[in-house]
Chains A and B, each alone.
Chain A
Amino acid sequence: MHIVVCVKAVPSSTEVKMDPVTHTIVRDGRESVVNPFDAAALEVALAIKDERAAAGEGCRVSVLSMGIPATEALLRDGIARGASDALLLSDRAFAGADTLATSYALSCGIRELGSAGMGDAAASGASEQRAAALGSAAPGIPEGGTAKPGYAVPGAPEHGEAAPGPSLPDLILCGKMAVDGDTAQIGPELAGLFDMPCVTDVRELVAIERGRVTVRHATDVGIELVEVPLPVVLTVAKDIAQPRMPSIAGVRAAAGVPVAVLSAACVQADPARSGLAGSPTQVVRSFVPERSDTCEVLEGSVPQQAARIIALAEEAGL
C-alpha cells in the first residue's frame, strides 16, 4: 500500500498579527510549522503503516509539499516521525500558485512519487534504506535546475486529467483545510485531477480492507459512515488523531536522509499550469478591514449591565 500525505508549511499560530497602529503585519520570529490538519493526516497514515507492519505487510508513506526550500526541514521531521520518504516541490515557477495551480503541482509530485525510480524499492518495504538511497541520488536541485537526478521517470506524465495509472497511490491524505488559507480546496481538486472519489472532513478511519476504506465524516446533515473504493482522497479533521512526536532514533535516521527537492521541470510540470501563470485567480487588491470602533461600553452596576444585555438579546429576537 502506498499513501501520500500532502502537507503545507504555515506560519506558527501566534505569528500573523497586525500592528494596530501601522496596520502592517508583524513578523517576529517567522517560524513555520506543518499545518495542524496535515499533521493529523500524517498521523493517520503512520498509524496505518504501523498496523500493516504489525501484520507483516509493507506500507509506504510519502510526505509531499510544495513550498520554499526551508520547507525541507518540516518534511524531514515527517520522516523522523516515521514517513518512508518525502518530496518537496520547490521552484520559483510555483510561486503565486492559487489552489488550481497548487493542486496541479501536487498532482505532478504524486505522479513522481509513483514513478519507477521513487516507488519500487520503498513499496517493497525497505523504505528507510530506500529513502537514503533516493536522497543520495537526488541532492537538492539548484533553483531553476532542470537536470533530472539519478533516477529516471518513465515517459512524460500527461499534463491532464489522465485516468489513474498503476503507479498512483492507494490513498491520498490531506488536512481538510490549511489554517492560513482556509480554502479547503486542495483535496477535492486532487480527487478531480486523478478522477478519484473524495471524502472530506473525515473524523474517524474505521477500516481499510479488500480495496475499500470505511470512514466516518462530517456533512451538513450529520456524521456519515461511508464506504468507498481505493484509490481515494481523504481530507481529515484536526481531532482525528494526535500527532506523535519524532522518536530519537527517528530523528537520527532522518538527519542523514536528504529530502528529495525537485523543480517544476524535474516533475515535468507544464509551466502554463504552474505558479502565477497557471492560476486563474489573482489578488487585485488587499486592504485592512474596518474594525468596529463604535464599541459601546455598558456602564452602571452589574444588574444594570445585565438588564441592558437582556434588552439587546430581545432586540436580536429572544
Chain B
Amino acid sequence: MSGLMVDAARCVGCKRCERACAFGGIVVEGRLARPTDACTLCGGCVEACPVDAIAIERDEASERPGRNLSAYRDIWVISQVDAEGALLPVVFELVGKALELAEARGCQVVAVLGEAGRVPRQAERLAATGVAEVIHAVDERLAHADAEVFAQWICALAEERRPETMLFGATAFGRELAPRVAVRLQTGLTADCTALDIDPKTGALLQTRPAFGGNLMATIECPAHRPQMATVRPGVFAAPECVTAGAGAGADLAAGIITQALLAPEVAPRVIVLGIEPVTGGSIAQAERLVVVGRGIGSKKNLPLVERLAELLHAELGCTRPLVEAGWLDYAHQVGQTGAAVAPKLLVSIGVSGAIQHLAGIGGAETVIAINEDAAAPIFGVADYAVVGDAVEVVTELIAQLEARN
C-alpha cells in the first residue's frame, strides 16, 4: 500500500508538517511526526519539512506506466457552441493556450467539434484559428449538449487517435463531459486549471489549480496515464488576436484541415429535452463587468441603489452568500465557493468584507475595485483599488456622476 513515510532518524519534531497540514493528517508526538487516519497523501507536509524527513511512498503498481505513453501525441481542444451555434469564447482561449503548449512540445493542436445540422457550421471558423486539424461531426444526436452522447463519440475518437492531452472549457457542459470521458478512458482529469504548462521532453502537462478556496495553489500532473485531461474556466486565459482574427491575420497561419468523423450508429441519447427556459438577463459567470454587493450595504432598502449603479455601469449584479440567505437576492446572484466563479474585466465590490469563500469565486477578475468601511477588510488584500469609506455614500455619488455623464 502507498503511504506517508517519516524518517525517524531525520525528523526533528519541529511541527512544521503539523502546521502545514489542512486535514490534521500528521501529528508530532514525542518529537516525532506520525501520520494519522486523516492523511490524504496530499504532500503538503513533504513540502513543509525542512529536513526532508517525510516522503510519500508509492506502490510499484502506481509508478508503472499504465500504457505506452509514446503512442500518444498532440493536444486536443474540445469545442463547444452556444444556443445559436456560435463557438464559445473559451474555445478560442483554449486554442490560444494549446498552440503555445504545442509549440513548446513540438506537436499539433487538433480541435474537436460536434454540431447538429440545423445550426451554422463552425468548422471552417475553427480551422482558421491556427489549429492543424478540426475533427468534425454533424449529427442530429449532437443537437443538445448531451454529455453522454458526446463522451461516446469523443472516447471512440480518442481510442483511435490517441491524443496526449485534452482540454475542455469548464462550462456546465464541459464539467460534465470531461469526467465522463476521463472515467471511460480511465485517465486523470484536473478541474478548473488556472495555469497550464508542459514539459517539452515528456509532454507532461503541469496543471495548476486553486485548492482550499484559493488559499493554496496545487500543481497537478498525470504521470502514467494518457490522455491527460484538464478543464479551464472561461476567462482564465486570454485568446490571442491571431486566434480570434483567423487565418491570414498577423502570423501566416494556414487553415487547418477538416476531417469528418461519424458517431457510431448505436449511440442513442437517453436524456430527452422537453423544454428550455433561456437564461433571462446576463449570467454573472460570463459578465464583462460586475457589481458585487455585500452586507456592508446596510439594509435591504439600499439595494435599489446598487441595482441602479449596475445598470449605469452596464454591469451584472452579484452578491455575497449572506444576502442570498437573507433573501435579498436569488442564488443566481451568489458569487463565491458555493455560488458562481466570476471572471469579469471589472469588478466593483461594495460593502463586501471578503470572506475566503467569497474570494475563492473572484480570483478570475481582472481589475477589482473595493469599497468598504473597514480598512482591514480582507477584500482589500485582493483588490487593485480601494476606497475606504461608507458604501452607500460612495454609491450615491457614483450614480449622480454617471447620470450627469449620460
Q: Interface 1/0s, chain B 341-366, versus A by CB < 8 A? A: 00001101000000011000000001
The B-contacting residues of A in range 60-104, CB under 8 angstroms, are 68-70, 90, 92-93, 95-96, 98-100, 103
Taken together as a complex, chains A and B put the C-alpha atoms of A316 and B184 apart, in Å, by 43
Contact check, A25 vs B219: say whether CB atoms are below 8 A apart. Answer: no
Stretch at the interface among B35-43, B122-130, B257-265: B35-43
Contact check, B182 vs A25: say whether CB atoms are below 8 A apart. Answer: no
Q: Say which residue of A191, A276, A289 sits within 8 Å of B56 (CB atoms).
A: A276
- Does B296 reach chain A (CB closer than 8 Å)? no
Taken together as a complex, chains A and B put the C-alpha atoms of A293 and B176 apart, in Å, by 36
- Does B10 reach chain A (CB closer than 8 Å)? no
- Does B389 reach chain A (CB closer than 8 Å)? yes
Assess A221 versus B82: contact at CB under 8 Å? Given A192-B179, A291-B382, A309-B369: yes
Q: Say which residue of B16, B37, B66, B172 sits within 8 Å of A219 (CB atoms).
A: B172
Contact check, B180 vs A189: say whether CB atoms are below 8 A apart. Answer: yes
By secondary structure, the B interface counts as: mixed
Residues of A contacting B21 with CB < 8 Å? 25, 27
Contact check, B338 vs A185: say whether CB atoms are below 8 A apart. Answer: no
Q: Say which residue of A95, A225, A227, A316 sits within 8 Å of B345 (CB atoms).
A: A316
Assess A99 versus B367: contact at CB under 8 Å? Given A197-B271, A219-B172: no
- Does A147 reach chain B (CB closer than 8 Å)? no
Q: How many inter-chain residue pairs (CB < 8 Å) link A and B?
A: 320
Q: Interface 1/0s, chain A 265-299, versus B by CB < 8 A? A: 00000011001111111111111110111111110
- Does A155 reach chain B (CB closer than 8 Å)? no
The B-contacting residues of A in range 29-54, CB under 8 angstroms, are 30, 36-37
- Does A148 reach chain B (CB closer than 8 Å)? no
- Does B326 reach chain A (CB closer than 8 Å)? no
Q: Say which residue of B272, B338, B348 sits within 8 Å of A309 (CB atoms).
A: B348
Closest B residue, CB atoms, query A301: B397
Stretch at the interface among B132-140, B220-228, B236-244: B220-228
Contact check, B220 vs A282: say whether CB atoms are below 8 A apart. Answer: yes
Closest A residue, CB atoms, query B337: A179
Assess A180 versus B212: contact at CB under 8 Å? Given A200-B172, A226-B274, A271-B1: yes
Assess A25 versus B389: contact at CB under 8 Å? Given A222-B276, A317-B289: no
Contact check, B272 vs A219: say whether CB atoms are below 8 A apart. Answer: no
Contact check, A226 vs B272: say whether CB atoms are below 8 A apart. Answer: yes
Shortest distance in angstroms between A188's beta carbon and chain B's nearest beta carbon?
4
Assess A228 versus B385: contact at CB under 8 Å? Given A69-B37, A188-B176: no
Taken together as a complex, chains A and B put the C-alpha atoms of A259 and B398 apart, in Å, by 58
Shortest distance in angstroms between A199's beta carbon and chain B's nearest beta carbon?
6
Contact check, A92 vs B3: say whether CB atoms are below 8 A apart. Answer: yes
Q: Using a CB–CB distance below 8 Å, which chain B residues touch chain A?
A: 1-3, 16, 19-22, 24, 37-44, 47-48, 56, 58-59, 61-62, 66, 80, 82-83, 88, 145, 147-148, 151, 171-173, 175-180, 182-184, 186-192, 206, 210-225, 228, 270-279, 288-289, 313-314, 331, 337-338, 345-346, 348, 356-357, 366-369, 380-389, 393-394, 397-398, 400-402, 405
Q: What would be 22 A-B contacts, judged by CB atoms less than 8 Å apart?
A: A16-B213, A25-B212, A25-B215, A36-B338, A70-B37, A95-B41, A96-B42, A100-B188, A185-B178, A221-B82, A225-B273, A238-B338, A277-B61, A283-B220, A286-B216, A287-B216, A288-B216, A289-B210, A289-B214, A291-B381, A310-B398, A313-B346
A103-B183, A180-B212, A223-B277 given; 20 more Cβ-contact pairs under 8 Å:
A68-B38, A184-B175, A184-B191, A188-B180, A189-B179, A192-B151, A219-B276, A220-B88, A222-B277, A272-B62, A276-B2, A281-B222, A287-B216, A287-B219, A305-B397, A306-B397, A309-B385, A310-B402, A310-B405, A315-B367
